[in-house]
């Protein structure tokens, strides 16, 4: 049985200064999402995300 994968949904980007304003600008949003994707499974950072998602498979 494979262990579930744990993802930090927002990652640390939600604490970026001016996050709400940056999120409304498409180019800035793409950058924020790229950063979140780069660190979404890093164990040392995952706890910074206010939401987590576990993904598993049923055997």
* E strand or H helix that includes residue 51: none
pLDDT at 2 over 90: no
Closest CA to 58 of 13, 20, 17, 4: 4
Residue indicated by tokens 């993802």: 7
Please write the tens of the pLDDT for every residue from 10-52. 889 999 999 999 999 999 999 999 999 999 999 899 989 999 9
CB 12 within 8 A of CB 39: yes
pLDDT at 1: 65
pLDDT at 25: 97
pLDDT at 59: 78
**How far is it, in rounded angstroms, from Cα 55 to Cα 45?**
18
């Amino acid at each position: 049985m494979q262990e579930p994968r744990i993802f930090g949904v927002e990652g640390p980007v939600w604490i970026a200064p001016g996050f709400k304003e940056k999120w409304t600008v498409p180019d800035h949003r793409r950058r924020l999402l790229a950063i979140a994707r780069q660190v979404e499974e890093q164990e040392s950072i995952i706890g910074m995300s206010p939401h987590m998602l576990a993904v598993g498979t049923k055997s």
